[in-house]
Each structure stands twice: as C-alpha cells, then as structure tokens.
Amino acid sequence: MPRFLCSLIALLIAALAWPASASQRAISFDDHAIPDSGAVALVVKKGLPALGDYATLDTASDGALTRAAKTAGFSGELGSVLNLPGVGGYEQVLLIGIGDQPLSTRVLEDVGGLVGQAAVNSAAPRIELLWPDASIPAAGAHLALGAALGGYRFDQYRTPKPDAPVLGEGEIVIRVADPRGSRTAWENDWQHVAEGVRFARDLSSEPGNAVYPEIFVERARAAFAGVANVQIEVLDEIQLASLGMRSLLAVGAGSQRPPRLFVARYRGAGNDEAPFAFVGKGITFDTGGISLKDNENMWRMKYDMSGAGSSVGALLALAKRQAKVNVVAVAALAENMPSGSASRPGDVVRTASGKTFEIMSTDAEGRMVLVDALWFVQERDRPRAIIDIATLTGSQVTAVGDEYAGLFARDETLASLLIDAGVASGEELWRLPLHDSYAKDLESPIADLRHSSGNRKAGAGVGAYFIGSWVAPEVPWAHLDIASMAWRDDPALPTVPVGASGFGVRLFDRLVRDHLEPK
C-alpha cells in the first residue's frame, strides 16, 4: 500500500477514535465563609495551633477535628493531607498541612494541588476550599491553578464499571477574601497556564497509535483555533526534503508515519521585536530504531515528545493570556521505528545547515531532530534567544534524579533567568557543564562530527554539546534535558499527579512573566 494512503487511513482512524477529554471539576470563587455542611478543605499549620478556620471548625465540632487528627498522627507538616469523612456534621473534611513555611504563591499552588488530587477520588459534588488570609493578591487564582494541575487525570481509555460510584465530578469552590480579583486573575491569566500544561500532559499520555506526527499537528491546530496573534506553519516530508532537513527525515525514515515540523508564532509585542524561541523534541514514539531498546519500560516512550508538547503548550498559554512578548515554538516531530528503510549506525547525515554527522546509535535520535529544527528557527526567525527542551538522555536522570531537569547554557544571563523561573514555577533546574573537552569526544573519521561519543562518559553533556554545535555562538542558547522530569512516578507531587507532567510549560511561562514581559 502506498505510504501516503497508509497515512490517510491512519488519520481517519485516529479522528474517529479520538477520545473526549477526561472530565475535571469546575472551579468557582466565592466570599470567604465557613459552610455549615458538605465537604470542606482547610489549611492547618504545624502543631495544630487553634487558629483561623481550623479553630472555628474544631470548636463547632466540640474538638472532634483535633481528636481525629491526633489519633491519625496528623500534625500539619508541610504537604500532609488528612481526609476525614463524617466529622462534626460535615460529609468530608480535608486538612492540608502547610507546616511553618512563610506563605507564597508556591505554597498556595501546592495547597490547591493537594485538594485537587483528593477531589479526584471524592464523590462529593461540591468541595469548598477555605483560604482566609488576604496577604497575597488574587490568592484564589493560585489555589485554582494548583487545583487544576493536581486534579488532572487521563482516563479516556478506561471503560466505566457498572454501578461504580461517580468520583471526581462536580466543582471546587474557592472561598477567599477577594473572590472578584481571584476570579479575574484566574479567567484572564492563570487558567491559560493550566490549559497549556493540560495540553502537554494529554499529548504525552496518549499512546503511540493515537498520537504521531500528523495527529500532533492536528491537535495543536485545534488548540490554537481562534487564538489571536498566532500564525501556524507546518512542513511535511516533501518540504523538509526541499530544505535539506535530512537529519529530521532520517529519524522518521523507518516509520510509515512521516515526520513533520510544526511551528507556531505568537506576536504579542508587535512585529519589530525579535522573538524568543522554544524548540522541542517531538519523538511521538521511540523504539530506538535499529539500535532497538530493551522492551522493559519501552511503553513509556510515548512521552518522548514531551519537549515538543511543552514548547507548544507554553506558547498556547502565553497567547491565550495575551503576554506582551514575541515567541516562536517549534516542534520537531518524528516516530523512531526499525524497518528496512530505517537509518543505521554508521550512516552519515548531511543536515540542513550543510554540516554532517555520523550516527553512532539510532537511539540517540532526539538530537538529530533538534539540530535541523534549530537551524530552521535561526534562519527564519532570527530569535533573541533559543531554549531547546528534550527528554534526551538517561545520563541526566543518573546525574540529578527526579528533583531537577538538567540545564546546559553558554549564556550566563539566560542560565540565571531560567534558574530563577524554575524556582518560582516549581519546575526547578540544575546547571550541568558544557566542557570544551566534549568536542574531542565527538570527532569522526569520516564526517564533521559523530553524534554521540559511543561511551558512557558525560552523556548528557556530550549530547548538549552536539546540539549546541548547530547554534551560532552569538545567539544566547540553553538546552534543557528533562528526561527525569517529563513523567512522574509514584509518589505524586501536589501539582503533578503520577504520569505525564507537562514539565516546561510553567517554567517558560514564569520566564516570560517574571523576566521578559515589560513591567
């Protein structure tokens, strides 16, 4: 069967089988008040001091809250949760520990996230989150962001069990001192960040037979429908070939599903200002190609397009909240499969820039799609700075675990801004070296470069150095290796349930919000 016909049939099947998004509780805002019944969530400081809403509800229940908490060993430690059904006339009381930390937007988002996670498994149709403190402006919007992120679930392919209780549906009512200001900040700003994260998580969660390059493009087009100041460009395999993007094409050569380059350009600061560029690795499924991976955990390689999902999701959030900045997001999309037409170790590839490299392992494919995408965005958009983001190496996981993504940068200012944005967003980075000695590791006897060193030394750094070889020295550039952060294993974090994390969307939003937008 001709390749184009295979692709057309696959697109039609995917369109017919495209599942509806999982339901998520609606979020609304109201004045701070303590309801007489129902399901409520409230914060408790370390040591269970008799303060605020906790003291009021404890007194109303004749001390039942404190007795239940102490019996359960709950003391209000930061991030702890106690779920109490049927206490003091309430159907459900959620106690959220905030320890003795000073209040911040990060604390608010974590509180909301813990309530959102608990709400997923609650049959209560309405959960009221109480926040009496008015020291942080629009506090309810940050609680709502956390609730939306923590309450995320991906269950499109699960068949409901007959007569099973309905869980996780209804609404979360956030009761704060300034409901109007919180609602405005949520609707005009922070809910769009949540939507960008959800977009990235959904795509990373989808199986490889549901999302591949063409479907990624269709999902992205649908997400941007009607969004102002956004232009979309998509290059198919014929256009990629005409531009000499043989590195991207080489990765997808073994698949019946051809590569794509998806580009979204958002102009929020006029046409005269050069954009910032987010470039994401978009391997919609990675078998390793001819250098076939071991089967253990290969199923997870559906998330190997997380960098692309987060780059596009971040631009979606920025455009919807009408950020005053120009940004271009590039998704380098391919499926890495073994077949008679697949690339081989030892092949030499000429990239769009004219530079050549020798393939050492077809399982080091992420850097192959990125280098053509980086060349493209430099040539077409002349960006002020470039950040690429990729689930690139296992070495990054070994180096810093699942607490940080790896940051590699040649520009000190850009590195500093990214680290600050990571702290503010909760998507933290740890800087790793780009040593000049890595050039020696990439020498090839027959091409300009080898695309990996062929040994296990400094794998994340060598990969970053290879990618940076395609970025002009004068362009501020950073590489984010998010291999350990794109998929969350148990235990969940308050705003990151187990599964696809959407890492990078909040980071990029904070970078723009705190450092790039005019104040």
**Which residue in the block uniquely carries the two structure tokens 């990373």?**
204
Q: What is the DSSP letter of 496?
A: B
Q: Is the separation of the CB atoms in 482 and 488 below 8 Å?
A: no
**Which residue in the block uniquely carries the two structure tokens 């940004």?**
327
Closest alpha carbon to 182 in 317, 25, 32: 32
Pairing mode, strands 230-235 and 326-336: unpaired
Closest alpha carbon to 481 in 395, 415, 410: 395
- Other CB atoms within a 10 A radius of the CB of residue 55 amount to 15
Tokens of 115: 């309530």
Q: Is the separation of the CB atoms in 263 and 233 below 8 Å?
A: yes
- Report the side by side order of strands in the sheet with 449-450: 348-350, 356-358, 449-450
Q: Is the separation of the CB atoms in 239 and 192 below 8 Å?
A: no
Q: What is the DSSP letter of 165?
A: P
Size (the chain), residues: 519
Cα separations in angstroms, 258 against 4, 34, 280, 310, 453: 9, 57, 17, 21, 28
Most distant CA atoms of the chain, gap in Å: 81
Sequence-distant (≥ 6) Cβ neighbours of residue 28 within 8 angstroms: 171, 172, 173, 174, 183
Cα separations in angstroms, 184 against 8, 188, 192, 265, 424: 44, 6, 12, 26, 21
The residues facing 93 across adjacent strands are 40, 84
Active site residue: 25, 246, 265, 367, which one?
367
Sequence-distant (≥ 6) Cβ neighbours of residue 123 within 8 angstroms: 165, 166, 167
Cα separations in angstroms, 479 against 262, 407, 431, 499: 19, 6, 10, 23
Peptide bond into 491 cis (omega under 30): yes
Residue 383 to residue 379: CA distance in whole angstroms: 9
Active site residue: 46, 267, 293, 384, which one?
293
Decide: helix, strand or coil at residue 144.
helix
Q: Is the separation of the CB atoms in 223 and 196 below 8 Å?
A: no
Q: Is the separation of the CB atoms in 337 and 255 below 8 Å?
A: yes
Pairing mode, strands 230-235 and 260-267: antiparallel
Backbone angles phi, psi at 247, to 5 degrees: -70, -45
Tokens of 462: 């060598």
367 is a catalytic site residue: yes
List active site positions.
293, 367
